[in-house]
Amino acid sequence: MSEMEPRSLTDLFASHPDDLVQPFQIEGLGIRGRVIRLGPLVDKVLTRHNYPEPVSRMLGEALALTAMIGSALKFKGRFTLQTNGKGPVSMLVADFWTAEDNGVGHLRGYALMDDERLAESIAAGRVSTADLLGEGHLAMTIDQGADMERYQGIVELGAGGLSAAAHEYFASSEQIATRIRLAAGPLFQREADGHAGTTWRAGAIMIQHIARDGGLTGHRETEDAKPPTDEEENWNRASILLGTVEDHELLDPALASTRLLYRLFHEDGVRVYDPSDVAFGCHCSRERMGSVIRSFGVEEIDDMAEDGVIEATCEFCSEVYLFAADELKEGLE
């Protein structure tokens, strides 16, 4: 990652707000971080599935969080975020991986829900993350490839939503003081030709303490009367500044990530680095889908077929694949 050296304020505040990861460092406070801005990518994912608005907001936040963590990996692996709960939305899944050729990050995601329970929950006004996901856990999985062992961290889901669960993950698994703000929502826009419409956007910002001797986990082990150290003071300052970020600042397409960072941290010496792009991607294919269906066996294939044809839809991208049942049963009988 190379340092970005802007030649002017115009360069620094150049509008490049969509589908990117913007790394930064606050040199005066010993903090590193990232800003995520998702526009067309998250709109494509959410509109393809036509989820109810509360579900789209949650999945949008999950996509932003996944891009945030996955883009920080220092190897060409896969990062997967998955929730499993007892609520109307039983599962959220988001994947991030980096292409070998151009370094572009790829992102996809979907939600699994009980439509009837979800409609009842929305009608009753129970639309918080805790309401929709219910009791359960959040799993974060890092897969470095076939020759490496997978790593998985699991934390409980709570009333604080995905950001609180992520804080717990970093505190317990990574032991790094971390603060994250997530936002997702529909944005009403009017085009130059007079047409208007709603598009989905998502954004996130994260700060982490740069470990020195002893480091910080974000928590003191004992409640004592000792005054805070300089590092703790710096961390508290950065956390307070991060807490001032509004949802609209993370979602506004007219507000570049660099301008947001300047608003927050210019007094403390914020330095930005070259951003990286994120694009929608999916690993599904006719061959992969056929292999999955064949794994169920002959009887299940017959049960799934209608008039000798099986229709399979990718949960991530909604691509539809049609198979002849006899074709899939070849070699199985």
**CATH number where 293 lies:** 3.90.1280.10
> Contact at 8 Å (CB) between 20 and 257?
yes
pLDDT tens per residue, range 43-55: 999 998 989 999 9
320 beta partners: 313
Instruction: Give me the pLDDT at residue 216, please.
Output: 57
- For residues 109 and 241, membership in a common domain is answered with yes
**Distance in angstroms (rounded) separating the CA atoms of residues 76 and 208:** 22
- For residues 198 and 323, membership in a common domain is answered with no
- For residues 146 and 294, membership in a common domain is answered with no
Residue 186 sits in a domain of what CATH number? Answer: 3.55.30.10
The verdict on residue 7 lying in a domain is no
* pLDDT over 70 (residue 102): no
Q: What angle do CA 307, 313, 315 make, to 5 degrees?
A: 155
Torsions phi, psi for 84 (to 5 deg): -135, 120
Q: What angle do CA 8, 14, 18 make, to 5 degrees?
A: 155
* Distance separating the N- and C-terminal Cα atoms of the chain: 54
**Distance in angstroms (rounded) separating the CA atoms of residues 174 and 304:** 44
Range of 297's domain?
A: 286-329
Provide the pairing of β-strand 276-280 with 105-113: parallel
Q: What is the pTM of this model?
A: 0.86
pLDDT tens per residue, range 161-218: 899 999 998 888 878 899 999 999 998 776 666 666 789 999 999 999 986 654 555 5
Q: Structurally, how many domains does the chain consist of?
A: 2
- For residues 321 and 185, membership in a common domain is answered with no
* pLDDT over 60 (residue 10): no
3-state secondary structure of 148: coil
pLDDT tens per residue, range 274-283: 999 999 999 8
Mean pLDDT taken over the chain:
86
| CA proximity to 107, closest of 198, 184, 40, 35 | 40
